[in-house]
Structure 1
Amino acid sequence: MSLYVVLGLVITTGAAQSCPTGCVCPIPGHVSCTGLSSFPQSFPTSTEVVTIYLSSLPEIPPDSFKGLPLLNTVTLYKNTIGKIKNCAFKNLAQIKSMNIYQSTIDTIESGAFSDMSFVNPGSFALYSISIGDIQPYAFSSLSDPRFSIYSANVTIIRPFAFHNISARSFSLYQTNIDFMDTSAFEDFNRTKSASIYSSYIANLHCNTLDVLQEDVGNVFSFYQLTFNCSCQLAWLFDVAQTNRYFAASLGRNRCHDNSTVLPGRRLNDLNATLLCPAGRESSQCLKPELSFPSQCTLPGAPTQSSRPSTPTQSPLPGTSRSSRLSPHVLGCLLTLVIGVFLKNQLK
């Protein structure tokens, strides 16, 4: 094999490890991107830290971080994001820190953040952020993070938006929520503590705060909340009749000053009759039947019945295993080939 052929192979292989367009890689393992108009198609397999800022992204596509076994930190800030797609952040088994802040997100799709296992001590934070729609199962099967959402504006949190969360702590505070739908929280019984406080919820449906209290127990608290008090909130007082711990929390919350009825009143001064003097329909709440997104739909790919393979099972589409050699190995290979070539030329 000639030197030129080998050099071509090494250069081609090294290109697969190059920094994405619009990004810089100041030190090995670190990728920093700014001013992007689309999400990078791939990252070097040695990537450990990804930072994206001041970018306008129509979407973060499925499997955006596939094939990055060393990835441990993702930071997105001062971005405008259209959609975080199904399985965009999936199977990140070595993640330590996930931060999204000072950004606007139109939609977080079902399964966007799924099957993420955080390395202790891990943190997942969304703050100083505006979110339009958090769809069912958007956050699902998250293990061991300190999970916090604060200083946020959210238009709608749909049923099962937060599902199967095994967090060291879960907190939602200083947040304005227009609509929190029935059963927004589901299966938090492996979460060690949870709290919702210092927030305004305009429309709070049943099977929300009470489900969290049932799952987490007495280590769940809600306080300094303001609600749009109306007949729609009567279910809260139905729960308080049979749950002493829940009832004791009512006094730490009140009706918003712009509430439909009884503005500014503390909740422990109210009851369902005061909220619904003309009577109301049954307050029984039924959990909606919504299917869990069982797989990721990759762009341009046919729907498959099996779950996507993990990054260690196969290389990225269109690449061979040789193209995934580390930069250190490539450098050694290049040095060896050039040495042999020069030795032969001197004979």
Structure 2
Amino acid sequence: MEIQVFILLIFSGITFAAADLSKEKCPSGCVCRKRDVKCYALTDFPVKFPPLTTYIFMDEMNIQTIPPNSFLGLEFLNTIEFQRSNFGSISTCAFKSIQSLEKLIFFKSVIGHLDKFAIFNNTGLSTIEILESKITEVSPFAIATLDNIVSFSLEDTTIYDLNTMSIVNVSGKELTIVGSVFKTVHYMPFVFGRFSQVKILNNTFEMLPCGTIDNLLVAAVDNNPLITGNAIMCDCGISYIHKLQNEKQKDLLNNMYCLDGGVINSQRIVSEALSSALPCDQKNKETLTKCRTQEVKKMPTLVCPSYSHGGVYKSTENKNGNSASSLSSCVTVLILTIFVLLNGSSVRQF
């Protein structure tokens, strides 16, 4: 009888412990149901998510930054979706070590600064969608080394400052850039790998420096990219294009038009008169018409902060492991204890 009471108390303790653990797992301001976490109108990024989370949805967030290692320890996380949110920055290594991540979506969101290696080397990542959003600045190597992309979509988004080599070594099936506006564009912003399908439609490039056209064409494996309806600022900044010799590049420009209402045609492209027709002073002519091949930046070494976001996962792993494993270990120990007690009781009775 005493042992039965003892066992009942033990299992009651396990039940209460599990209930308390369930309460602790869901971040404040979020709703956790099964393996989904949905957060609304937060001003601080959650320090910790349940370890078995597969889907994270965040709506109307107003957060200074998505910190490094924000999703560390989430071995089953499949999809992260942000809607109508405002982020001051997305830090280096924000999405590091989520090898299970397949989909990353930003919809109607504002990002102040996309740091280098913000989205980097996520081997399972197949879908990136940035839709109806605004990004103030994209750093060099912000999105880099992704080679299993099924769909990379940049649609109806405004980017105010796109640095050299902002998007590097990204390859896959489909690249879609549609209806977006690029304000300040630096030399060679895209250094894509190869895509099976390329659609670049109805975008506005207020600057179109050397290297932009080349690398958009390189991304097209099928030699039949759908690149049309794009507008560019026909000023001194494109005075280099009269030197283009590649027929594909010329055809691409034939499908573009000037923001001032002018038309770019093959005759204008190959004509030396182009540069004199543009409002360039002599210094700019000499610099821009050379269109010198600039040295491609070397991929820097990734250095992530040694700490985990909030310090929670690191201390938890070092001391107790994650919550699920801690509970499992606790249950195992208690079961073994019960087994020993039962055996001991039967021996004494015998």
TM-score by length of 1: 0.81
Change beyond 3 A, Cα 1:106–1:206: same
Q: Is the 8 A contact 1:16 1:44 kept in 2?
A: no
Equivalent positions of 1:1-347 (< 5 A) are 10=17, 14=21, 18-27=25-34, 29-118=35-124, 122-145=126-149, 146-186=151-191, 188-217=192-221, 218-239=223-244, 242-257=245-260, 263-271=261-269, 273-277=272-276, 280-281=285-286, 282-289=290-297, 291-298=299-306, 316-319=313-316, 320-325=319-324, 329=328
State the shift of 1:13 in Å: 8.5
Q: CA RMSD in A?
A: 3.6
State the distance in 2 between where 1:339 and 1:25 align.
33
Q: Which amino acid aligns with 1:283?
A: C
Change beyond 3 A, Cα 1:26–1:324: closer
Q: Which runs of 5+ in 1 are unaligned?
A: 258-262, 302-314
State the distance in 2 between where 1:45 and 1:162 align.
31
Partner SS, residue 167 of structure 1: strand
Q: Which amino acid aligns with 1:265?
A: V
Q: Is the 8 A contact 1:91 1:117 kept in 2?
A: no
Higher relative contact order (CA 8 A, sep 6+): 1
State the distance in 2 between where 1:134 and 1:208 align.
15
Change beyond 3 A, Cα 1:114–1:214: same
Q: Deviations over 1:63-97 (max 9, x none)?
A: 11111110001100010100000011123322222
Q: Is the 8 A contact 2:214 2:249 kept in 1?
A: yes
Q: Is the 8 A contact 2:242 2:274 kept in 1?
A: no
State the shift of 1:30 in Å: 0.7
Q: Which amino acid aligns with 1:165?
A: V
Q: Is the 8 A contact 2:213 2:249 kept in 1?
A: no
State the distance in 2 between where 1:55 and 1:79 align.
4
Partner SS, residue 265 of structure 1: coil
State the shift of 1:270 in Å: 1.9
State the shift of 1:51 in Å: 0.5
Q: Which amino acid aligns with 2:252?
A: S
Q: Deviations over 1:252-301 (max 9, x none)?
A: 111113xxxxx322343523634421662122231353552512125699
Q: Which amino acid aligns with 1:132?
A: T
Q: Is the 8 A contact 2:102 2:124 kept in 1?
A: yes
Q: Which amino acid aligns with 2:302?
A: S
Q: Is the 8 A contact 1:87 1:111 kept in 2?
A: yes
Q: Is the 8 A contact 2:320 2:326 kept in 1?
A: no
State the distance in 1 between where 2:295 and 2:265 align.
25
- How many residues align? The count is 322
- Structure having the higher Rg: 2
- Percent of pairs identical after alignment? 20
State the distance in 2 between where 1:207 and 1:110 align.
20
State the distance in 2 between where 1:169 and 1:326 align.
40
State the shift of 1:212 in Å: 2.8
Partner SS, residue 316 of structure 1: helix
Q: Is the 8 A contact 1:55 1:78 kept in 2?
A: yes
Partner SS, residue 193 of structure 1: strand
State the shift of 1:221 in Å: 4.3
Q: Deviations over 1:24-60 (max 9, x none)?
A: 1022x11110111111111111010000111101000
Q: Deviations over 1:189-209 (max 9, x none)?
A: 343233322011101111112
Change beyond 3 A, Cα 1:139–1:286: same
Q: Which amino acid aligns with 1:109?
A: D
State the distance in 2 between where 1:287 and 1:243 align.
21
State the distance in 2 between where 1:172 and 1:43 align.
33
For 1:305, the equivalent position in structure 2 comes to none
State the distance in 2 between where 1:297 and 1:68 align.
18
